[in-house]
Amino acid sequence: MKSRLLVVFRAALLAAALLPVMPVTLPAIAADTGGLATLRGAPIDSASPDSGDALKKAIESTPLERDFTQQPPLVSHAVDNYPVTKNFNKCLDCHSWENYRKEKATKVSQTHFQSAGGQDLANISPRRYFCLQCHVPQVDAKPLVASTYQRPSAR
């Protein structure tokens, strides 16, 4: 009697242990996100949508026209794997005054030679070192939020 009880107990234990791996069809639980949407516009558990594809490839041509005065010109090429670290700045490898002629590249604006204290330096000011803070690769990016802004030329 005692041994039979033990067998039943063991079987129940085994079934309980196997429950998570058994192909049981459970009713699908709708994810309650409380009205929150992901930035990529698709549920978090879905495969990556193609909405980011336009942003993956820089438009390699002449720089796109600027939309407003003082707008930093866009980078007309991809910058993937271009390091801008404390040790080395890949942008300056072609765009510095020392190298731009040989590389047939656009030279850095002389406005970037001024230090924070208004002193004119012989080379780019350290405060202007991180080029990609202002100059971004040009991509076919649609506005994320609707805006009534128009280019001065289109007004």
Q: Is the CB of 77 or the CB of 107 nearer to other proteins?
A: 77
| Buried-exposed string 80-115: b where 16+ CB fall within 10 A, e elsewhere | eebebeeeebebbeebbeeeeeeeeeeebeeeebee
Q: What angle do CA 131, 59, 51 make, to 5 degrees?
A: 100
Quote the least distance from Cβ 117 to other proteins, whole Å: 14
Residue 52 is a binding residue for other proteins (CB under 8 A): no
Alpha-carbon gap, residue 25 to 53, rounded angstroms: 36
Q: Is the CB of 57 or the CB of 66 nearer to other proteins?
A: 57
Identify which of 46, 131, 51 has the alpha carbon closest to the alpha carbon of residue 83. Answer: 131
Q: Is the CB of 2 or the CB of 86 nearer to other proteins?
A: 86
Identify which of 136, 140, 133 has the alpha carbon closest to the alpha carbon of residue 75. Answer: 136
Q: Is the CB of 33 or the CB of 123 nearer to other proteins?
A: 123
Tell which one of 98, 109, 134, 140 touches other proteins (CB under 8 A).
98
Quote the least distance from Cβ 121 to other proteins, whole Å: 9
Identify which of 86, 46, 66 has the alpha carbon closest to the alpha carbon of residue 134. Answer: 66
Alpha-carbon gap, residue 60 to 36, rounded angstroms: 36
Residues in a beta bridge with 120: 114
Tell which one of 47, 122, 141, 144 touches other proteins (CB under 8 A).
122
Q: Is the CB of 25 or the CB of 62 nearer to other proteins?
A: 62
Tell which one of 42, 59, 74, 78 touches other proteins (CB under 8 A).
78
Interface positions with other proteins (CB under 8 A): 60, 77-78, 81, 83, 85-89, 92-93, 96, 98-99, 102, 104, 122-126, 129
